[in-house]
Amino acid sequence: MQALCSRSDDKNRAILGADDILARDSPWENGYQESFYDKFKVDLGDPNRFKTLGELVAEIYRTLWDYNNTRIHSALNMPPVVFAKLYALVA
């Protein structure tokens, strides 16, 4: 499984030009992504609890919506969507 993921990851990195940005397998160089993924895994819970792939996909979408719309961002003291709306009014 790891070999398949690595090949796919190499292809995606080449398409995005990510090799020039981040060192491969270097989580400490992308703290924002690592922080998001850590919170996402906790919020989603065990993916094996779903009976169908559709249930899993629906829960992923719900988790992402909650992350962007209801979670209080520590630096903003408000959800990101609220901040974006306030910023749009000012800009």
The residue ranges of every structural domain in the chain are: 1-37, 45-91
Give the pair of three-digit tokens for residue 1.
């499984």
Which amino acid is located at 91 in the chain?
A
The count of other CB atoms within 10 Å of the CB of residue 40 is: 13
Helical H runs in 1-91?
2-16, 31-44, 53-69, 80-90
Contacts of 83 (CB under 8 A, 6+ apart): 73, 76
Q: What does each of the 91 residues of the chain score in pLDDT, given as a tens digit?
A: 344 444 455 655 565 555 555 566 666 677 878 888 888 999 999 999 999 999 999 999 999 999 888 888 888 888 888 888 888 877 6
CA angle, residues 46, 51, 53, in degrees to nearest 5: 85
Give the pair of three-digit tokens for residue 46.
């065990």
Looking up tokens 């060192």, which residue turns up?
23
Q: pTM (2 decimals)? A: 0.59
